[in-house]
Chain A
């Protein structure tokens, strides 16, 4: 127990990220099921308007910040050091700090469901209710007087610190800790996409941090950053939010694209087609992602020139995205494709992501977007890219790397059940939403009129959502089963080309008994140019020093939610306590003796 609390081992932290994020994924999923149950019929009244607004706000916020990002982070943690032949990340204790901040930030946000009575309100009353996009000026104290929005903005500020710390950590790790001979163009695609993602994290998160800081000033100190009566404008928030928000969607998708780029070659027994192009298009997407944010704001009326420019940049970004898809198909082409569950999910990613990309192009055109924005059509789009894309990709990663992480294979039979239920479920849940939106149902509505003629489509969508829930249940059974029934994986159950497959599953604390020297991009495969490398010996020839654990990152992390409680409860001394805990944690951490 203690060893888990103090751990600085990237593998353990990776597992902590995985289980925590998965728990939040289940919470977000339950919220989604309540939402869908409410919308199963017109004029639904399972929950009140106020509760519904909290549900969709927390569903979006949870899925983006507490489920998908940290699920990706669990692979960054576990897999990236293994792929580059490192013993750990560059800053192991900072890594532990990132995790604890993430956990506490997530708990802080979700505590809002329960603590209503402390604010003289019922439970289920003070959770954030302004949408995951939190548009000003609805979020100003004047229109949202309760603590709901405070929970949201303070929670996001906490989580931002976690993401930023992890971002710097992984950039340094990937740039500096690569094994000898692993030049940048020999780095596995997943690690490459991690690198691009982390650059987006460290550049995009400061933007929302600033936006949220303005909002904090407005709400707590009566400033007027988003108040038009004072000469400002609520549009400022939209620019800041989407300037963060669009890179954020790439933060969510690039890791999954990286996973797919690693899974397909393994199961097609063929190198990734156009590795260089796939890598560079990922980098290009990262850059271009900064120039498209106003496509979320076409209905604001920025004027025909601005609309044309942002429309053009948005359409352009579809090009490198398409290039990746063609390269993946070319990777499969001519291969010897083994239909494992991981491959099913990777292919599912491609098949579903295409739909999301194409609907994206239909709202890259401002005039058509004027009919689509803020309707269920956009909800369909985001779920095809985030569920059909990111989640499918993450499951591909789970089925692919779970054996490495635990030494046990997941059941392929249950895996196929999981895949097909999820595949059918998601299409049933999300495809009708295209029609629901085109037929005129806005998003973020707790109820709708039977006159719209979308009742049956909504019912269908709800059935799909419950099918997805069933598929996740099958997955959980599969996961639990591995503890007792899981077949042993051995070092390399799939015949992978990259370094993580050259060591034991799960790997020993030190990962590599001897740091490998890398001579090419597919070290463990035989190609026309080279023979496979020799795997490192099972036991280290010389003793390896492994740093012990540390309490201080966790202590420092606790300072942040305490600090956040101060404005929430208008209690000055809490701010002092929080700052003291944070500083104490950092001080003790900095002066911790090296040898433990």
Chain B
């Protein structure tokens, strides 16, 4: 259960009368990593709040008590006071010790090294989507990261182009995805569910559209998901729309960029072998339904500015698009 915070969510709700959960909130931690930083933040917050109250109160008292009044004698020209200077140098310094010690402890506790048995996933940022490679499972997917509950996850993060930053607030703070570098975070989720995140480092035109989901599943659920993902793509029955879609896929530019195992080897865009099993498309932007798929295939840049999936030349016919949608949806 998230701890009760009078000053955050409820305060906001009270002020604005708005509702709804906050899927990307940093204040509702759901992993050991997120919890550690949250505890530290709460700690620092209260110190800051105390200093805030004291200093603003002093300021207000000074303003009210010493405001100009007719007939007040000229103020004494005091120039300073050594003891007071020492006091108000040492007091903040002392408070900072109380902030610094847990800070350093948390830095080392959250340095990004998971336990040896952690599930290792390589995360690769692309303009503007995420690729996930599960080395130990031999599995590649995109934009929706599945992890089991009850096992630590160790992410090794890098980028294929410019700098991005991988961030799922409820599961922990962000790490940059930097070309030529590998950065790490590790966390152990503590509740089954779907968590939202998005790229946090400005990475070009569609930075705002580079979102992602993390699905935390029970161990058995994760196992089932992995088994399905490891299978080859579904083969559509001959004569169906999906089958025609497969043919359109194979003769169109799609194959240049996308992998569908056994069909095409492209590596520029997301792996589509099991695209039908994902809940969203376009890196978490839209629900994975026929209407959005059709619009996306027809003209991706109009939905995601700058998208490297350009409009097909010559344009696909509506019939082709419908067939492709059927095919992609069959790839469960």
Contact = CB atoms under 8 A, between A and B. Distances in A.
Contact of B173 (A135, A351, A371, A527): A371
Given A143-B161, A234-B178, A315-B100, A445 B37 contact: no
A448 B56 contact: no
B198 A338 contact: no
A442 interface: yes
B166 to A, nearest CB: 9
A505 interface: no
B7 to A, nearest CB: 10
Contacts of B67: 337, 339
Interface string B172-203: 11111011110110000000000010111111
A367 B208 contact: no
B225 interface: no
B57 to A, nearest CB: 10
A49 B306 contact: yes
Contacts of B180: 228-229, 233-234
A455 interface: yes
B305 A50 contact: yes
A308 to B, nearest CB: 5
Interface in B1-24: 8, 12, 16, 18, 20-24
Interface string B45-71: 100100110011011001100111100
A589 interface: no
Contacts of A449: 211
A337 B68 contact: yes
B27 A234 contact: no
A111 B55 CA distance: 45
Contacts of B298: none
B75 A325 contact: no
Interface string A284-316: 000000000000000111011001100110011
A428 to B, nearest CB: 12
B229 interface: no
A337 B203 CA distance: 50
Interface string A313-332: 00110110011011101101
A47 to B, nearest CB: 11
B234 interface: no
A322 B94 CA distance: 12
A97 interface: no
Contacts of A336: 66, 68-69, 72, 74-75
B200 A447 contact: no
Residue of A316, A322, A365, A452 most packed against chain B (CB within 10 A) = A365
Nearest to A269: B75
B107 A311 contact: yes
Contacts of A311: 100, 103-104, 107
Contacts of B165: 299, 374
Residue of A234, A276, A370, A372 most packed against chain B (CB within 10 A) = A370
B139 interface: no
A235 interface: yes
A137 B205 contact: no
Contacts of B202: 53, 130-131, 135, 138, 374, 443-444
Contacts of B108: 304, 308
Contacts of A301: 112, 175-176, 181, 183-184
B66 A138 contact: no
Interface stretch (A85-93, A355-363, A511-519): A355-363
A137 B180 CA distance: 11
B66 A323 contact: no
Interface residues of B, number: 93
Interface stretch (A62-70, A391-399, A432-440, A572-580): A432-440
Contacts of A441: 24
Contacts of A528: 77
B79 interface: yes
B249 to A, nearest CB: 28
Given A135-B202, A269-B74, A323-B88, A333 B16 contact: no
Contacts of A48: 305
Contacts of B56: 351, 354
Given A274-B85, A332-B59, A368-B44, 13 more contacts: A49-B205, A138-B202, A228-B181, A270-B76, A270-B78, A332-B62, A336-B74, A337-B67, A347-B59, A362-B44, A362-B48, A369-B173, A448-B208
17 contacts: A49-B306, A135-B202, A229-B179, A233-B181, A270-B78, A303-B111, A332-B62, A354-B51, A358-B51, A361-B96, A366-B103, A371-B174, A435-B8, A440-B22, A440-B26, A442-B207, A452-B23
Interface of A: 48-50, 53, 130-131, 135, 137-138, 143-144, 228-229, 233-235, 268-271, 273-277, 299-301, 303-304, 307-308, 311-312, 315-316, 318-319, 322-323, 325-327, 329-330, 332-339, 347, 350-351, 354-355, 358-359, 361-362, 365-375, 435, 438-449, 451-457, 460, 525, 527-528
Interface of B: 8, 12, 16, 18, 20-27, 34, 36-38, 40-41, 44-45, 48, 51-52, 55-56, 58-59, 62-63, 66-69, 72, 74-81, 84-85, 88-89, 92-93, 96, 99-100, 103-104, 106-108, 110-112, 127, 161-163, 165, 167, 169, 172-176, 178-181, 183-184, 196, 198-209, 211, 305-306
CB-CB nearest 10 A-B residue pairs: A370-B173, A440-B24, A228-B180, A445-B208, A301-B183, A49-B305, A274-B80, A326-B88, A358-B48, A374-B200
